Amino acid sequence: MSNNKLRVGVVGMRAIGNTHADVYKNDPGAELVAVCDIDRARADEAAARWGVPAFYSVADLLKSADLDSVSVTTGGPENGGWHYEPVMECFAAGKHVLCEKPISNNIEHARDMVRTAREKGLYFGINLNHRFVPPAERARKWIDEGKLGQLLLINMIMWIDNPNETSPWFHLKALHPHSVDIMRFFCGDVKRVQAFANHAPKADGTPRVCWSNAQINMEFDNGVVGHLTGSYDAAPKHNLERCEVMGTEGRFVLDNCFEELTLFPRRGDELTVIRNSIMGGVMGFNATFKNRIHRWIEQVGAGAPREEIEASGEDGLAVQEVIEAAIKSIEGGTVETVVRTV
Ligand SMILES: NC(=O)c1ccc[n+]([C@@H]2O[C@H](COP(=O)([O-])OP(=O)(O)OC[C@H]3O[C@@H](n4cnc5c(N)ncnc54)[C@H](O)[C@@H]3O)[C@@H](O)[C@H]2O)c1
């Protein structure tokens, strides 16, 4: 920390790395110190854009820049295959890390990162940004205040149009950390999973490599039973996600992450509707990055207890364990118990 600002670097300077850099540059609690990409042109371009030095390897970044924390936005296979090495290098150098989702496409790597951060007492956060919006916080408050009574059911939909074909499990591993995180945010840990999936046809009529549509049933530790519908073949423009949670006293529906939240009491006919304001509301999806990264800066800057870090490495791992269980269920036609490793 210098001048009470968290000194940060960003590794992986394409779209999302630049989004992180933009947030750090404009957050009063942070100072963007350096950017890094193994692609020199990208690193140089980002350095010029943000007015900070460029580094072309994580080793050089960690040797030369005075950092408290690093954002790792390197992507890779299934959008998470290149997170492990830079994250572990940062941990070895004693730096806190905010890593993009998925924490990793390799569950052993994900477990190793979470264990290492814990052993070293370093902060580890994952950019599970969808929950960092005022309506999700309000819905969580309704649950805590007992407005829903005892929780019973959750239904979640998350669907986008992503025609990329990287692997059979790309859709589940890359997209659904977000949806499972929202489900866990409201209903807690998942105990068991059962899933079905299919492959949409490509333009030439042959099936996609990717299991691009999935229906996943879940049983939570607290007895809630839930369902996730996921797709990479959907019309995305006006319809990213929907979450509905029901309890003994009522239910809420959270539409499109932050657009509209409605409380339906079980016994009354008056609904509570919270609609995103065009004045000062959540101004587009990029605001979810701003909110999430701001909270990271706030918590790390204040020295929050590790177990209080929101959307932590542990949370990033937990959602990936649910996805691993869903994959096993699809492969084996089984009901799978979710592994708890840390
Ligand atoms: N949270 C969200 O809502 C959200 C949305 C979109 C993408 N993402 C995530 O953001 C991440 C990045 O996405 P993207 O589309 O910008 O990725 P990308 O593949 O376009 O870019 C990754 C960059 O990282 C660099 N890189 C890779 N390994 C490196 C290393 N070891 N050291 C330095 N640089 C390295 C690459 O050269 C490249 O420039 C992915 O994990 C993706 O899942 C999150």
Q: Give, in degrees to the nearest 5, the angle at Cα 195 between 190 and 200.
A: 135
Give residue 220's pLDDT: 98
74 CA closest ligand 1 atom index = 24
Q: How far apart are CA 270 and CA 25, in angstroms?
A: 44
8 Å CB contact between 75 and 104: no
| Whether residue 117 has its Cβ less than 6 Å from ligand 1 | no
Q: How far apart are CA 72 and CA 338, in angstroms?
A: 27
| Whether residue 321 has its Cβ less than 6 Å from ligand 1 | no
- Among 22, 23, 73, residue to substitute to test ligand 1 (most atoms within 8 Å of Cβ): 73
Q: Give, in degrees to the nearest 5, the angle at Cα 83 between 69 and 180.
A: 95
Domain with CATH 3.40.50.720 in the chain: 6-129+290-312
Give residue 2's pLDDT: 72
CATH 3.40.50.720 matches 6-129+290-312: yes
Q: Give, in degrees to the nearest 5, the angle at Cα 311 between 308 and 316.
A: 120
- Among 23, 38, 57, residue to substitute to test ligand 1 (most atoms within 8 Å of Cβ): 38
Ligand 1 centroid – CA 179 distance (Å): 20
Domain with CATH 3.30.360.10 in the chain: 131-280+319-337
Q: How far from 239 is each of 151, 197, 213, 292, 311, CA to CA, in Å?
A: 26, 21, 16, 21, 24
Q: Which residues neighbour 244 within 8 Å (Cβ) at sequence distance 6 or greater? A: 153, 154, 155, 156, 251, 252, 253, 254
| Whether residue 130 has its Cβ less than 6 Å from ligand 1 | no
Q: How far apart are CA 96 and CA 26, in angstroms?
A: 20
Ligand 1 centroid – CA 12 distance (Å): 5
SS3 assignment, position 129: helix
| Whether residue 13 has its Cβ less than 6 Å from ligand 1 | yes
| Whether residue 73 has its Cβ less than 6 Å from ligand 1 | yes
SS3 assignment, position 287: helix
Domain 131-280+319-337, CATH class in plain words: alpha beta
Is the pTM higher than 0.85? The answer reads yes
Give residue 38's pLDDT: 98
Ligand 1 centroid – CA 277 distance (Å): 31
Mean pLDDT, the chain cut into blocks of 10 residues (342 residues total)? 90 98 98 98 98 98 98 97 98 98 98 98 98 97 98 97 93 98 98 98 95 98 98 85 98 96 96 93 93 98 97 98 98 98 78
Nearest protein CA to atom 7 of ligand 1, as residue: 16
* Pairing between β-strand 151-159 and β-strand 225-231 as defined by DSSP bridges: parallel
Nearest protein CA to atom 20 of ligand 1, as residue: 14
Q: Containing H/E element for 163? A: none
19 CA closest ligand 1 atom index = 16
Give residue 301's pLDDT: 97
SS3 assignment, position 152: strand
Token pair 């924490």 in the structure block, residue: 103
